Amino acid sequence: MHIPDGLIPFPQYIIYWIIVLPLIYRSFKWAQDDMDEMKVPMFSVLAAGIFAIQAVNLPLGVGASGHMVGAVLVSIIFASPYAGLLLLTLVLFVQAFVFVDGGVIALGANIFNMGVISSWVGYYSYTAIKERIGVVKASFVGAWLGLFISALVTTVEIFFAGAFPLMEALIVMGTFHAIIGVIGEGLITAIVIQSIMYSRSDLIKTADEKGRGRGISNTTIVAAIALVLMVAIAAPFVASSDPDGLEQTMIKLIGGGDEAVVEELLAENTDVSYNTPIADYSIGGFGMFGEVAAIAGGTLLLLAIGLLVARMSKKKRPIVESSENAAQIDIKPDARLDDIENTLFSRSKNEILQSATDLDIIVEAKNLTHTYASGGTIALNGANFKVCRGERVALLGANGAGKSTLFKHLNGILKPTSGDILVKGVPITKKNIMDVRQTIGIVFQDSDDQIFAATVEQDVAFGPMNMGLPEGEVKARVRDALELVEMSGFEDRAPHHLSGGQKKRVAIAGVLAMKPEVIVLDEPTAGLDPSSASKIMHLISKMNRSFGMTVILSTHDVDIVPMFAERVYVMHDGIIEAEGTPKEIFKDPELIQKAHLRLPRIAKLLELLKEEGIDVEIAITPDDARDELLRVINQAKQS
């Protein structure tokens, strides 16, 4: 579909450059905002891969051939048409200036057709239908439509240049590219997306949600580069020698069936004449080896250019964001985890929230009210609540305070009577409810309300299966989730034969298999013996500390809160009464009394000692209490 120089008069090309230059600039801005350590190698490998696969002209069986464009594939993987435009711009520049493919003056028109039209039409067609027919099928439709429409637009452009009769050209070009859209563009795009969904579905999900995914291993990158080079080396052996769809249309409609007439016409009309040692994807005088070397060399060149552009565009982000008022962080290599946390969270969580940007806040309730229709009970009365990415937050309150009702609003199980729930800054609606429920997973207080399948494996697999994932991905997620909660080996066990703690772990595994960014746990230790409760809390902390998952739990067990939470909300009669660090909350006896709570037992012990005249500060964790008691003992020894 590359328009050669000489087909469209020079002044007309200026129009396309005026259109594409601002969009190309905007694509670099996209890269600066979105490119991160995970996406840089993906982008460079895709640039090389698209170049290599464009060298493989597939026969159409009608005397013509065609190749994949690839813009829609890239746009889907990176969740932006600007990604497709940026990558195709790089590929088309190399093709034009190094391989004399498509011409230099015509480059603006080619970027417009294959980079802009294909990316925008294909990507937004994909996003419009993916919820209804699934990601893989939608990628096929989007890729086919992107190629087909860009071919029709190319035909209209050449018609306005006076080179084509419009209707006849539309029929010929449309037929050629409708076929190649199925054989090449649609099928290849769907196969690649299916492979990603099978092996690393988090890449597609992370891109769609603009979130952070786990990185790509060096082994995977090396394997991808090797595969791309294999395609490049094979290209001269498998590519068709027939003219591509546009060339065949030109031969039919302009040359009267004679290719030499078209070449002579283009040579007469072009204003630029140049050549390179590797024009037409071949190094002259070396036969087939020259073709292999040229295409492999071009592939490596695109790999290097893609990596360079991606790295230049990538915005450097510190691991720990700081503000002007942020405390300096100095962590020694041998520091204990508790010491690190004390350093990181030495500021009040109120200060952290005040300095957090909207992008940091992943869940927020604004003036939330809820009245149950049966009985008119007011369960929530203007609750305000926000949680940042990666936090550990506890919602503390007595039974009947409204904690469970609030949690059921976080992923749309209940609808508010008034107020809003925002997930990533967007209110929950019917259109985004499925995305919200994949973002936020809820573990209910009673595991029997959540576990219903005949076996543990079937129960954990239920969520991923309803996401439409392939069987291999479902099995992998079930295996990983059960391994994480230390329930491997229980796959065939009937849930009603499990203990309370084991059921809780299976319920958590069922949520983890959905790979949510936020996990919400309603009274996770309720009804468990001390040993099981301790194991569950250790697992919850591990999900946050080791995997960066945002964790929100509700409880009326004041003893676990200081050991777990970075920040606490106190709830009473459907109202958020207070918010702060555990130390800030438990230093307010009036608040504790009003919420029908008590101090943690360790704090109560120190309070009793203080009432006996011992000069001791109230502490709420065992470590702090130990340090405080040692201080008092040492002070007594010295006196």
Domains of the chain, first to last: 10-313 (1.10.1760.20), 337-598 (3.40.50.300)
Using CA atoms, how far apart are residues 425 and 605, in angstroms rounded to an integer?
43
Using CA atoms, how far apart are residues 392 and 385, in angstroms rounded to an integer?
14
- What pLDDT does residue 525 have? 87
Of 200 and 352, the one with more pLDDT: 200
- What pLDDT does residue 266 have? 66
| Residue 306 to residues 90, 293, 373, 488, Cα–Cα distance (Å) | 8, 20, 58, 42
- What pLDDT does residue 141 have? 94
Band (98; pLDDT cuts 50, 70, 90):
confident
Of 453 and 639, the one with more pLDDT: 453
Average pLDDT over residues 203-217: 52
Using CA atoms, how far apart are residues 42 and 62, in angstroms rounded to an integer?
36
Of 74 and 354, the one with more pLDDT: 74
Band (334; pLDDT cuts 50, 70, 90):
very low
- Inform me whether the pLDDT recorded for 30 exceeds 70: yes
- What pLDDT does residue 150 have? 93
Band (144; pLDDT cuts 50, 70, 90):
very high
Band (217; pLDDT cuts 50, 70, 90):
low
Of the listed ranges 202-211, 279-288, 385-394, the one predicted with least confidence: 202-211
Band (347; pLDDT cuts 50, 70, 90):
very low
What are the φ/ψ torsions at residue 547 (nearest 5 degrees)? -120, 0
- What pLDDT does residue 265 have? 67
Contact 229, 303 (CB under 8 A): no
What value does the CA radius of gyration of the chain take, rounded to a whole number of Å?
31
Match 């435009």 to its residue by tokens.
Answer: 85
Angle between helices 287-313 and 81-99 (to 10 degrees): 140
Contact 193, 16 (CB under 8 A): no
Of the listed ranges 435-439, 519-523, 624-628, the one predicted with least confidence: 624-628
- Inform me whether the pLDDT recorded for 314 exceeds 70: no
Contact 607, 599 (CB under 8 A): yes
pLDDT tens figures, 441-463:
999 888 888 888 889 999 999 88
- Inform me whether the pLDDT recorded for 474 exceeds 70: yes
Average pLDDT over residues 514-529: 88
| Residue 498 to residues 460, 463, 483, 502, 505, Cα–Cα distance (Å) | 14, 20, 16, 6, 10
Of 209 and 290, the one with more pLDDT: 290
pLDDT tens figures, 484-508:
888 999 999 998 889 888 999 999 9
139's enclosing H/E stretch is: helix 135-160
Band (337; pLDDT cuts 50, 70, 90):
very low
Angle between helices 245-253 and 166-180 (to 10 degrees): 150
- Inform me whether the pLDDT recorded for 216 exceeds 70: no
- Inform me whether the pLDDT recorded for 382 exceeds 60: yes
**Residue 384 CB coordination number (10 Å):** 14
Token reading at 535: 């194991």
Using CA atoms, how far apart are residues 383 and 331, in angstroms rounded to an integer?
37
- What pLDDT does residue 205 have? 53
Contact 383, 541 (CB under 8 A): no
Band (267; pLDDT cuts 50, 70, 90):
low
Average pLDDT over the chain, rounded to an integer: 81
- What pLDDT does residue 270 have? 67
pLDDT tens figures, 562-620:
888 889 999 999 999 999 988 888 888 889 889 998 888 888 888 788 888 888 777 77
